[in-house]
Amino acid sequence: MAKRKTKFVCQECGYESAKWMGKCPACHQWNTMVEEIDPASVKGRTGYATSTTSAGKPEKITAIESKKEPRITTKMREFNRVLGGGIVLGSLVLIGGDPGIGKSTLLLQISAQLAEKDMSVLYVSGEESTRQTKLRADRLDITTDQLYVLSETNLYDISKQVEEVKPSFVVIDSIQTIFKEEVTSAPGSVSQVRECTMELMKIAKSNGIPIFIVGHVTKEGSIAGPRLLEHMVDAVLYFEGERHHTYRILRGVKNRFGSTHEMGIFEMKEEGLREVMNPSEIFLEERSEGAAGSTVVASMEGTRTVLVEIQALISPTSFGNPRRTATGIDHNRVPLLMAVLEKRVGLMLQNQDAYIKVAGGVKLDEPAIDLALAVSIASSFRDQPTNPNDIFVGEVGLTGEIRRVSRIEQRVQEAAKLGFKRVICPKNNLDGWNYPSGIEVIGVSSVQEALDIGLRH
């Protein structure tokens, strides 16, 4: 009988070593090396999940026929947008999010919508019993007969049920609870997650079955398990939001079949998740007019324009080092723009605390929000409110210049649709397009010029 070989695997990054170490040399985390048996030295039973395709031969790229990937659309247009137009056959999609955020609710609703199209759906729950899943289905008013529920954690048994049911769509909730018998480590370990995901990928690719995997997240907000997990799947979606607020954001961070900058917004109701078609109205509905430090920016989230309020509070510091706090944007952008305002505009901000927040819980990371952020800081420092009918869009350079941004036409059209009267944008964006009626587009070339227009009464 062959001797079983062991190895030590880091549970944070997947680094493997022949001996135990207190500190992982790859991710520098302490006490994360766990002893596991090498799967290559263990022979176990195999099944449907271990089937492999025949070896192919290299082809000339000019001889390969290019065709559009067939997609399955759901009733949720926000969900379809994030995936790039719908679910691709044979794709493996990973959805991560905080506990209780609504991942299972979202996938159960999607499964029911596909089942209503006479598509057989297999929902595998490793954390809940079939009765618990039935209770959620009753709350969501799901009555279709094409939705099959399985409470199982053994990958071999799951693959056998996939072979018997032959579903058109599979949901695994969650990958951290699934285990493979040949791997002797505990479910949720690096080896189990990697091997189970590899087997599920073989099922999806060889049979053309879309598989959605739910992944737990760590306290830092990233998906638990090895980083290799995100590289193996075709798409990675993050379900974000506060548990005590009703709005949820589905954001794509990886997508081999579409854009990675799309965002879908949902509202959690008693009867389940409901998509929000016009998020700009929601983000601006509680905006207080006449308050200093408040500006509105037209930000692009993939192909969608979202109008969001940026709030700033500037107050004298009581300590030697002033605070710089930012929520919803990169915190490094705040001191950079404050340095530009102090150097190019003459605002003495070095002894001021700065608190920046993006209203509505949205995260903005594009350069076009620089101008709105700078105007918001100056408005709070001077205690001069901005015009509530103004929109600010533009990238701010270190010399105080305003640089052009992309898709200015879509931003202005969204502002006009919601009743705004003026858009202050880079001067280089004014040529080559027609402005919508009922809105004034003003081009500026410096931060000082934008402040003169935006804070003038």
- Asked whether 355 and 323 are in contact (CB, 8 A), the reply is yes
**Is 50 exceeded by the pLDDT of residue 46?**
no
DSSP state of 11: T
Region class of 66: left (phi > 0), else alpha (psi between -120 and 50), else beta: beta
Cα(173)–Cα(122) distance, integer angstroms: 11
- Is 103 annotated in a binding site? The answer is yes
Contacts of residue 405, Cβ cutoff 8 Å, sequence gap at least 6: 367, 368, 393, 394, 395, 411, 425, 426, 429
Cα(51)–Cα(399) distance, integer angstroms: 60
Coil, strand or helix at 140 = coil
Cα(35)–Cα(16) distance, integer angstroms: 10
What phi, psi does 138 have (nearest 5°)? -65, -40
Q: Whose structure tokens read 């079955």?
A: 209
- Is 101 annotated in a binding site? The answer is yes
Q: How distant, in Å, are the alpha carbons of 83, 96, 218, 265 from that of 251?
A: 9, 10, 17, 9
Beta-bridge partners for 97: 239
What confidence tens digit (pLDDT) does each residue in 55-87 have? 678 989 888 887 777 899 999 999 999 999 999
- Asked whether 265 and 308 are in contact (CB, 8 A), the reply is no
- Is 104 annotated in a binding site? The answer is yes
What confidence tens digit (pLDDT) does each residue in 309-338 have? 999 999 999 888 899 999 999 999 999 999
Question: Nearest to residue 190, comparing CAs of 41, 35, 45?
Answer: 35
- Tell me which range, 56-60, 421-425, 431-435, is most confidently predicted by mean pLDDT: 421-425
Stated as kind and residue range, the H or E segment containing 268 is: strand 263-269
Q: What DSSP assignment string belongs to 375-427?
A: HHHHHHHHT-PPPTTEEE--EEPTTSBEE--S-HHHHHHHHHHTT--EEEEEG
- Please report, rounded to a whole number, the percentage of residues in the chain having pLDDT higher than 70: 92
What is the arithmetic mean of pLDDT over 190-208? 91
What confidence tens digit (pLDDT) does each residue in 111-165 have? 999 999 999 999 999 989 999 999 999 999 999 999 999 999 999 999 999 999 9
- Is 100 annotated in a binding site? The answer is yes
| pLDDT value at residue 45 | 45
Q: Whose structure tokens read 């505009």?
A: 345
Three-state secondary structure along 106-132?
HHHHHHHHHHCCCCCEEEEECCCCHHH
| pLDDT value at residue 284 | 86
Mean pLDDT of all residues belonging to the chain? 88
- Is 99 annotated in a binding site? The answer is yes
Cα(249)–Cα(282) distance, integer angstroms: 13
- Please report, rounded to a whole number, the percentage of residues in the chain having pLDDT higher than 90: 59
**Is 80 exceeded by the pLDDT of residue 108?**
yes
Coil, strand or helix at 332 = coil
Coil, strand or helix at 438 = coil
> Considering Cα of 101, then 114, then 302, then 453, what sign does the dihedral take?
negative
Q: What DSSP assignment string belongs to 215-236?
A: E-B-TTSSBSS-THHHHHSSEE
The two three-digit tokens of residue 53, written as one number:
């395709």
Cα(241)–Cα(2) distance, integer angstroms: 51
**Is 70 exceeded by the pLDDT of residue 275?**
yes
Cα(221)–Cα(121) distance, integer angstroms: 30
Question: Nearest to residue 313, comparing CAs of 255, 353, 272, 371?
Answer: 353
What confidence tens digit (pLDDT) does each residue in 236-252 have? 999 987 666 788 889 88
What is the arithmetic mean of pLDDT over 348-357? 94
